[in-house]
Structure 1
């Protein structure tokens, strides 16, 4: 049975704490994200492939599929 991939993730800005639900891209990692509240451009933490893996409620689709940073290597 194929695992269902979740595309909705709520990002929490590490600068101001603002949260917003976003739809993750399925074909690429999102390395930059601009907070709509404070306009801070956030980047992933060291070791994470994208902003969803660092600050989202759900890991990005390639990681959900069992990949290991496959979308960024």
Structure 2
């Protein structure tokens, strides 16, 4: 199975989109928007900011796991 490590995060406050590389060994619970400075946090039910605001879910979810380890 090929895991995609790049995801485009889109800020819900200013709509700025930024390509970021996802960590493979942990979840990313916070992300600072590089345009407006908003601190993004996962939405309820999501394990990380990539699952909430990214174009690609985090590596554990891509592998079929229920959450980041």
Please give the range of the TM-score, normalised by the shorter of the 2 chains: over 0.9
Taking the TM superposition and a 5 Å limit, the aligned residue runs for 1:1-73 are: 3-71=1-69
Displacement of 1:67 in angstroms is 0.2
- Higher Rg of the two aligned structures: 1
- In 2, the alpha carbon distance for the partners of 1:25 and 1:63 equals 13
Q: Please, what is the CA RMSD of the aligned residues? A: 0.6
> SS of the counterpart of 2:52?
helix
Offset from partner CA, 1:20-67 (integer Å, 9 cap, x none): 000000000100000000000010000000000000000000000100
- Equivalenced residue count is 69
Q: Which runs of 5+ in 2 are unaligned?
A: none
Q: TM-score, normalised by structure 2?
A: 0.97
CA distance in 1, matches of 2:35, 2:61: 28
